[in-house]
Amino acid sequence: MNGNRVAVVGLGLLGRGIAACFLARGFEVVAVDTSEARLRESIAAIDQSMAELTERGGLNPERRASWREHYHPTVNYSHLRGCSFVVESIAENLQAKQAVLSQIEEVTADSRTVVASNTSAIPITLLQQPCAHPQRIIGMHWAEPAHATRFIEIIRGDRTGDEAVETAIAIAKRLGKDPSLVQKDAPGFIVNRIAYAMYREAMQILEEGIADVETIDRSLRNTLGLWASVCGPFRWMDLTGGPELYARAMAPVMSSLSSSNQLPPPIACLAEEGAKGIANGRGFYTYTTEEKSYWEQLYREQAWKVTQQQQENFPLETPHE
Ligand SMILES: NC(=O)c1ccc[n+]([C@@H]2O[C@H](COP(=O)([O-])OP(=O)(O)OC[C@H]3O[C@@H](n4cnc5c(N)ncnc54)[C@H](O)[C@@H]3O)[C@@H](O)[C@H]2O)c1
């Protein structure tokens, strides 16, 4: 088995970007798809990604010029033999993914090849069910455009082995990503679970006639779009009133969001203890005076940067002076 030889199975929108990431970091990449046309199309798409990575991501021009020598497109699964790491990235369908994982396993049966599924929301434990070597199966959820984004969720299925987890994290880091380890398998993992809840509420607001599609989109762009590249939800609450304020604001809305009208325990407990986020140094995180200033300043800078960008993209008639 060659540690530098990896594979991508399914060269669609995501698979092409994933292949580009591996090529940019010096891997030999076997690319398997059932469609010859998709494989042909992947070459132009990867070339475009490599050009972007050279212009914006500091990719060595020599690697950009020679990537095609290291890319091996094929419809033949037997070419997976000898690959140390395989990313499955076919369309989101449990049965189809299970069948492909079994095919990959057959070819790589005698090795320690780790097989990662790029699924958006299917629990890895379900994907592992028919597998002969479930300890080698892991979730690896990428974000589009895969060659440009830092995001990767590494998901441990119930039967995933520690070695597979360590390998997947090491590969993600070698690809210049910022991996998030999801410790417990659940539909949607972290980001899609949160995102799907948000999309569901957006539909609900639309259905109830509270606002139209464009207004909902614009409102989120003007708020979430401002903070989400420097904060997650916990940091954001800490910066803007902390658990105490959010608990008070959220309590009356809870019954319209879930079957329980109770606040979730993590925020209820902190609110009861008087946690006001950066205002008193206690929130979901704790803050020294220096840390409080750092986060305040960071967010303020970000708010101006994004507001300026929004004015360029979506000019208001009466902008900030
Ligand atoms: N679209 C997104 O933004 C996004 C983001 C993260 C993860 N994902 C997940 O990534 C996965 C791939 O999504 P996509 O949008 O790239 O799909 P896609 O439909 O663009 O590509 C799927 C590819 O798989 C190939 N394929 C189908 N059956 C195959 C088989 N048996 N063996 C080999 N190749 C086969 C198809 O020919 C196609 O080229 C999905 O699970 C999706 O949920 C998507």
* HSE of 213, CA atoms in CB hemisphere, 13 A: 0
User: Is 142 a pocket residue for ligand 1 (Cβ < 6 Å)?
Assistant: yes
What torsion do the CA atoms of 176, 64, 144, 153 make, to the nearest 10 degrees?
A: -30
- 3-state class percentages of the chain: helix first, strand second, coil last, to nearest 5: 55, 15, 30
Cβ of 91 below 6 Å from ligand 1: yes
Q: What's this model's pTM, rounded to 2 decimal places?
A: 0.94
How many CB atoms are located within 10 Å of the residue 318 CB? 5
Q: Is the pLDDT of residue 317 over 90?
A: no
Beta strands in 130-264 (DSSP E): 137-142, 151-155, 178-182
pLDDT band at residue 1, thresholds of 50, 70 and 90? confident
Q: How crowded is residue 262: how many other Cβ atoms within 10 Å of its Cβ?
A: 10
User: In the 8-state DSSP scheme, what is residue 253?
Assistant: G
Tens of pLDDT, residue by residue over 247-291, are 999 999 999 998 889 999 999 999 999 999 999 999 999 999 999
Which ligand 1 atom is the nearest neighbour of the CA of 118? 10
Would you place residue 131 in the very low, low, confident or very high pLDDT band (cuts 50, 70, 90)? very high
Nearest CA-CA partner of 87 in 174, 22, 131, 149: 22
**Ligand 1 centroid to residue 10 C-alpha, Å:** 6
Q: Taking all residues of the chain, what is their mean pLDDT, rounded to a whole number? A: 96
Q: What whole-number distance in Å separates Cα of residue 80 and Cα of residue 115?
A: 11
Residues 169, 171, 173, 178, CA torsion sign: negative
Pocket test for ligand 1, best of 90, 118, 152 (most atoms within 8 A of CB): 90
Residues 173-212 pLDDT 10s? 999 999 999 999 999 999 999 999 999 999 999 999 999 9
Give the separation between CA 198 and CA 180, rounded to whole angstroms. 20
Q: Whose CA is nearest to atom 21 of ligand 1?
A: 12
CA angle, 196 as apex, 92 and 141 as ends, to 5°?
45
Q: How far is CA 320 from CA 98, 221, 310, in A?
A: 54, 17, 11
Give residue-wise pLDDT tens across range 207-237.
Answer: 999 999 999 999 999 999 999 999 999 999 9
Which of 97, 123, 142 lies closest to 184 in space, CA to CA? Answer: 123
Give CA–CA dist 311/158, Å, rounded. Answer: 47
